[in-house]
Chain A
Amino acid sequence: MVQTKLFALGRLAAGAGLCLASAAAWAHFPIGHCKALDETTVQCKGGFSDGSNAPGLTLDVISYDEKILLSNKLDKNSTVTFKRPPGQFYILFDAGAGHVVEIDHTEIDS
């Protein structure tokens, strides 16, 4: 796994005086999961692939025609709850360019 190879290299590189600090940008995958608390409320939880939290991560609810319906940020528990908009939409956990997770409205656990 390149991530851990990099991570391992970073560790031993750190010993040699080097440190692969900015490797964090692509060694980390954001993850997200959403479920419907009831008919009108959706709760989403985000984080990273290594199990760490993502407080403050941007979460946007976007309609299929690319209109941003809601724009939120995950709280300190990496969670956010919002009212389910009508129509078709997808949820976007956005940690920045190239680091996003899309969850279609059909993929929300009920």
Chain B
Amino acid sequence: MSKVIAARTERTASKAPASGVALKWKRWRFYLSALVLIAPLAYLPEYFEDLALSRGDAGLGQREVGEFAVGPWSVRLAEWQIAPPEREGLAGYVKLFTLAQCQECIGHIKAIYLRVGEPRSLRTAGSLFSGSPYRQMAEVLIPERTGPDDEMWLTLEGWDGAVHQARVPLSEASPSTVQWLQQRKGRP
């Protein structure tokens, strides 16, 4: 008889640690949402990198393309980010480029445009660069049918009305875009 009681109390005693674990889970599961706070910690370095890039402390862009002579002037072109083109809403895919005018050119250049392929006219010269002559930016549309051998065309308008142009192979301007185009072609 005492054995029965002993057996029952033993079972009850063995349940106590089990319900202790259950208690712990019942309590600590409500702290799980703290895991979401890993995100800001994980992205903190990228936040500061982006800040440095925005301020120009990291150079003209993540990747310098080079210096190009355009008529009597010269400009330095760079890729803002080396990532492939990004979707710009309904317009398609765009790539952001930055540009710096040469010291002697400042004050002579009215506007700078960039596009994929040769422009038909000044009206269709491409995306207009905005910003200061020391660092200006343009988002350039990358049409779906762009080939890896295509060229980018820089068009420079002077205040005196002169227009000068230069060509930059796409493979030189943005290798990541060429890679992206090739990957897209592979898709059905």
Contact = CB atoms under 8 A, between A and B. Distances in A.
Interface of A: 1-3, 5, 25-26, 29-31, 47-51, 66, 90, 92, 94, 97-100, 102
Contacts of A100: 123-124
A29 B91 contact: yes
A102 B86 CA distance: 20
A96 to B, nearest CB: 9
Nearest to A107: B145
Given A2-B80, A29-B141, A98-B111, 20 more contacts: A1-B86, A1-B88, A2-B139, A3-B88, A5-B50, A25-B130, A26-B130, A29-B88, A29-B94, A48-B90, A49-B91, A50-B89, A66-B120, A90-B120, A97-B123, A98-B125, A98-B127, A99-B128, A102-B120, A102-B124
Nearest to A94: B123
Interface string B73-99: 000000010000011111100101000
Contacts, number: 60
21 contacts: A1-B87, A2-B139, A5-B50, A26-B138, A29-B88, A29-B89, A29-B141, A30-B91, A49-B88, A49-B90, A50-B90, A66-B120, A92-B123, A97-B111, A97-B123, A97-B128, A98-B111, A98-B126, A98-B127, A98-B128, A98-B138
Interface of B: 50, 80, 86-91, 94, 96, 111, 113, 120-121, 123-128, 130, 137-139, 141
Contacts of A92: 123-124
Contacts of B94: 29
Contacts of B127: 26, 98
A2 B97 CA distance: 11
A26 to B, nearest CB: 5
B90 A51 contact: yes
A109 to B, nearest CB: 15
A2 B124 contact: no
A94 B128 CA distance: 13
B89 to A, nearest CB: 3
Contacts of B90: 31, 47-51
B139 A3 contact: yes
Contacts of A25: 130
- The winner among B89, B138, B139 for most chain A CB atoms within 10 A is B89
A8 B181 CA distance: 29
Contacts of B126: 98
